[in-house]
Amino acid sequence: MAKDKKQNRPKAITPKGFRDYFGSEVIERNQMLQKIAEIYHSYGFEALESSAVETVEALGKFLPDIDQPNEGVFAWQEDDQDWLALRYDLTAPLARVYAQYRNELPTPYRRYSMGPVWRNEKPGPGRYRQFYQCDADTVGSASIAADSEICMLLCDTLENVGIAEGDYKIKANNRKVLNGILESMNIQETSKRDAILRTVDKFDKVGESGIRQLLGKGRLDASGAYIDGVGLADGEADIVVAFLTSKGSNIETTLKNLKNLIGSSEIGLEGVNELETMAGLFEAGGYGSNKISIDPSVVRGLGYYTGPVYEAELTFEIFDEKGRKRQFGSVSGGGRYDDLVKRFTGQAVPATGVSIGVDRLLAALKEKGRARASGLGPVVVTVMDRDRISDYQKIVTELRNASIRAEVYLGNPKNFGNQLKYADNRGSPAAVIEGTEERESGTIQIKDLILGKKLSEAATLEEWKDRPSQFTVRRDELVQKIKEILNSYK
């Protein structure tokens, strides 16, 4: 008789580049998103939830360092017709939404959006294929005030989630200035301009000498691999580096340095004038250079930016995996993209916006000890008699009706100690105990699990007597006593 083939079981592993999020992580993220949404909403932005799936044609080719439209995204063909893909950001879907509903939406249209995006890229440490973004955009306004407002919004958002003033810096620049410099250098080829943009965007990672090498013949990276350079002559590279390092001791000096670099370029002068206008609006709004600065080193690598660009950088120090000090770095970026909607409508529609990297910002808050999942676990109603489960269900319903998070223990009730261990693992503030004796006397026992843990770690036997963590109350006092325990740990 032939033996049955051994059944191949699927491996219980998370796909490469993805991760699972559990209780406290989800709560921490949701609490942070709520604080971000408070600021976005206070600025007049309206919520939008767009589809997680778009046509590849609608997404277009805007991923940096990707040559083909459906490279870098998770894409599939729909019944030999359109190619569909998971969205790689929240901006491209916004362009599609605005083009589709523009006759029904107000102009300008101010929206914020939060949710996961997907990148089909090689994962690495801290680099996942699915991550959260949180965007705010204004579509339909050419006013530089819209760009200035985004920078102010970033300040308020970071402070509202727990990043203190002095621990962050918003840096603003204008792509028109760099375009003017490239124009004065007579660099017209789009592919070469894009290569320069992607290169100078690495300035904060590789420094001035690294940028000079990448603008020229190339350089060896940390792994020993050789990275081809853009191929600029030394004199041309000098001009680009001068632009990146033109920040002065104050805004006036910075703007003067930029004017000297752009020569007679009209587009470059337009960019400098816009930066000057933004600086005036920052001052008028009470956002000084300690919060927002004009910094030419901010370029942003994406090709669709057409004017002001900005980044939010966290300036406090952390320790890397080797124990070395380093700054946390950028958690947000954005800019003006006046040609993105044009792809759908054929008409230029001005737009500007910003995206916050939710996972990086949450990691920053944890570094500062400011991200904790507020809220305790559920009150656990223990089961002393499995034949009285309906009575215990009445207790838990009473607690829930009083807006108290609660659950009945649903495991094997034979070992009471295991029930209390379960409650501890759930982070429960209290356990409710009602045996036959309590039921007959109209009482109920409450065990303050948080106090009990503290006392067991640090208290003497005398202190146990003075502050009992388990006590008996009348049955009709249950809700009141549980609320008192919960309030004491807020």
- Is residue 405 very low, low, confident or very high in pLDDT (cuts 50, 70, 90)? very high
The CATH number linked to 442 is 3.40.50.800
Give tens-digit pLDDT for 418-436. Answer: 999 999 999 899 999 999 9
pLDDT at 124: 79
**Total domains in the fold of the chain:** 1
List the single range of 103-107, 405-409, 485-489 with lowest mean pLDDT. 485-489
Other beta carbons within 10 angstroms of residue 86's beta carbon come to 20
- Is residue 150 very low, low, confident or very high in pLDDT (cuts 50, 70, 90)? very high
Statement: residue 452 has pLDDT above 90: no
Q: Looking at per-residue confidence, does 10 or 111 come out higher?
A: 111
Give tens-digit pLDDT for 237-288. Answer: 888 888 889 999 888 999 999 998 888 899 999 999 999 999 999 999 999 9
Percentage helix, strand, coil for the chain under 3-state DSSP, each rounded to 5: 40, 20, 35
Mean pLDDT taken over the chain: 88
Query: Do residues 114 and 144 touch, judged by C-beta distance below 8 A?
Result: no
131: in domain: no
Cα separation of 176 and 259, whole Å? 12
Cα separation of 26 and 15, whole Å? 19
pTM: 0.84
Query: Do residues 38 and 44 touch, judged by C-beta distance below 8 A?
Result: no
> What one-character-per-residue DSSP string does 205-239 give?
HHHHHHHHHHHTTEEE-TTS-EEE-----HHHHHH
406: in domain: yes
Cα separation of 135 and 112, whole Å? 5
pLDDT at 462: 56
Query: Do residues 209 and 245 touch, judged by C-beta distance below 8 A?
Result: no
Domain extent for 383: 379-488
Statement: residue 15 has pLDDT above 80: yes
pLDDT at 149: 97
- Is residue 320 very low, low, confident or very high in pLDDT (cuts 50, 70, 90)? low
HSE-up of residue 262 (Cα within 13 Å, Cβ side): 24
Percent of the chain with pLDDT over 90: 57
Residue 435 zone, left/alpha/beta (φ > 0; ψ -120 to 50; rest): beta
Cα separation of 62 and 175, whole Å? 16
120: in domain: no
Q: Looking at per-residue confidence, does 372 or 378 come out higher?
A: 378
451: in domain: yes
244: in domain: no
Residue 65: partners with Cβ closer than 8 Å, 6 or more residues away:
198
Cα separation of 398 and 380, whole Å? 13
CA-based nearest residue to 368, from 320, 329, 333, 318: 318
Helix (H, G, I), strand (E, B) or coil at 168: strand
**Quick one: average pLDDT of 400-421?**
94
92: in domain: no
- Which tokens go with 11? 């491996």
**Quick one: average pLDDT of 286-305?**
87
What's the distance, Cα to Cα, between the start and end of the chain in Å? 68
**Quick one: average pLDDT of 350-361?**
94
Structure-token match 């375009």, residue found: 179
